[in-house]
Structure 1
Amino acid sequence: MSNDTILMVVLGAAAGGFINGLAGFGTALFALGFFLTVMTPPQAVAVVVVLSVASGLQGLWIVRHAIFDNPRRMARFLGPGIIGIPLGIAALYIIDAATLKLVIAAFLLIYGGFFSLRRALPKFERPTPFIDMTVGFAGGILGGAASLSGALPTMWCSMRPWPKAETRAVLQPFNVAILGLTAVMLWWQGTYSREVLINLAIALPATMISAQIGISVFRRLSDDLFRRLLISMCLLSGIILMIRALT
């Protein structure tokens, strides 16, 4: 393995780990650009999902109290999301994944761009269990079909005036569970070859350290600033996704 390959793996792992520690999602969006220069797409995805789970588990620990304080809210997203995963995988044979990514990128750009320019953020304060379950279910389908499980839950949660710990107590378990199941499926399919495991061994330390730095920044954010961060992340994610889908 060349030094250039090691550098790309470490840089991708560090970028993905930091953003996951900061926002609770986004590892794939920020790491794949580096990984795909030195790995095949299946190898890159196999590494990313493990890094997402590993850095996500650190994030789970800092919001564990918020998770236990309101487990029903998290379950409303996660339960339907798990059900949606196999439907998303089945949809791969019907729907063009590239087209789906373009559609989701457009939604992220419109949503992130619109609310980034507004001074007042949207506030849906009343309980919306049916919408929560629908968003979770759709997130599971998108996770299985295009590895975009966090897109819709992030958009929806950023419109709720929840404290940052409560918002993360939904997003982090959702992404860890969905991507953890994805990693198991990839392992079952034999994706974790010797080369993938070597890349994973190089990437894991960088991700774990960078995630801690991201978590440290997260602790210093106010609730309102964290909501704005999520909206900005939607905009940036849409730009990155659109570029990748078109190129």
Structure 2
Amino acid sequence: MPDVTTLALLSVAVFAGAFVSGLSGFAFSAVAGAILLRVFQPLEAVPLMMACSIGVQATNLWALRRSIRWEGSLLLIVGGLIGVPIAVSLLQSTDTHLLRRGFGVIVALYAAYMLLRPTLVTAGEAVGRHWVALIGFGGGLVGGLTAMPGAIPTIWCDMRGMPKSEQRGLVQPFIAAMQVFAIALLVGHQDLSSKVFVDLAVSLPALFAGSALGVIAFHRVNETVFRKTVLVLLLVSGISLI
């Protein structure tokens, strides 16, 4: 069992990450990892964050189940499932630091520019199924390299001016599926320490409390506040990659 200080830091990190993810739909690891990676070794912190993030995504999916757009999400997921193994192969054979930094620059610049735009764009015409699958492929590929599978689909939704419920209903199942797939690959390549499961059990109250409050906040904020929150999180995530 962790000591009192470690337990407190674990709970604070998980609660903060779960709240932000419940509000925005992503960024659990970006928020919680700022603390957890200073408290635990990466081989323990990363699987713990992935497991917690899946718990948050499951809570989000249940809370937003009436808004889920399954047809579009399945197209994203199919594309993503093709992209993730390619990313894993690149990680094993290529130095991906430059790719990560380059993607971080693009995400940060996009978010900064869109935050300064005085007006919102409006949703355009419906796009072809192959384009949706291609966005999913890009999300899976980039997610495998940067642990940010939702970045490209989220940017795509923002560029099309999707309302917050429509955006969450489309992207949320995709992020959940990519995280389940990623942790399955991780489990297949290494044995997880039993301490990871102990830490996960200890963090469950903070996980569900943060998720619930985040979802409540999501329903209460207006479209403008939600969009700015997402863009700020994209900006922070991009800078963290740089």
Which residue of the partner structure matches residue 10 of structure 1?
A: 11
Query: Is the Cα contact below 8 Å between 1:18 and 1:210 reproduced in 2?
Result: yes
* Moved segments of 4+, more than 3 Å: none
* Structure 1 residues 42-68: Cα deviation after superposition (integer angstroms, max 9, x where no partner): 21110111111111111112321222x
Which residue in 1 is equivalent to 2:78? 79
Alpha-carbon offset, residue 189 of structure 1: 3.0
Shifted more, 169-178 versus 187-196: the winner is 187-196
Tell me if 1:37 matches 2:38: yes
Partner of 1:64: 65
Task: Give the distance between the partners of 1:155 and 1:183, measured in 2 at CA.
Answer: 24
Q: Shift of residue 124 of structure 1? A: 4.3
Q: For 1:1-247, what aligned pairs fall within 5 Å after superposition?
A: 1-67=2-68, 70-129=69-128, 130-242=130-242
Q: State how far apart, in whole Å, the 1-side matches of 2:143 and 2:73 are.
A: 17
Cα contact 2:100–2:145 (8 A) shared by 1: no
C-alpha distance in 1 between matches for 2:145 and 2:195? 25
Instruction: Number of aligned residue pairs: give it.
Output: 240
Q: Distance in 2 between matches of 1:207 and 1:241?
A: 25
Does the 8 Å CA contact 1:63/1:166 hold for their aligned counterparts? Answer: no
Q: Which structure 2 residue ranges, 5 or more long, are not aligned?
A: none
Q: More displaced, 54-63 or 21-30?
A: 54-63
Q: Is the 8 A contact 1:81 1:139 kept in 2?
A: yes
| TM-aligned CA distance change 1:119 to 1:191, over 3 Å | farther
Contact 1:121 1:159 in 2 (8 A): no
Contact 1:25 1:171 in 2 (8 A): no
Distance in 2, matches of 1:186 and 1:92, equals 13
Return closer, same or farther for 1:205/1:98 CA change in 2, 3 Å cut-off: farther
- Write the distance in 2 (CA, Å) between the matches of 1:12 and 1:225: 23
Matched to 2:87, the amino acid is: G
Deviation at 1:98, TM superposition (A): 2.6
Report the Cα offset of residue 147 of structure 1. Answer: 1.5
Structure 1: which amino acid aligns with 2:51?
V
Could you say which residue in structure 2 is the equivalent of 1:245? none
Q: How far does residue 227 in structure 1 lie from its aligned partner after superposition?
A: 2.4
Q: TM-score, normalised by structure 2?
A: 0.92
Q: CA deviation at 1:178?
A: 0.5
Say what the alpha-carbon RMSD is for the aligned residues. 1.7
Normalising by structure 1, report the TM-score.
0.90
Report SS of the residue matched to 2:125. coil
Point out the more displaced range, 55-64 or 118-127.
118-127
- TM-superposed CA distance for 1:96, in Å, is 2.2
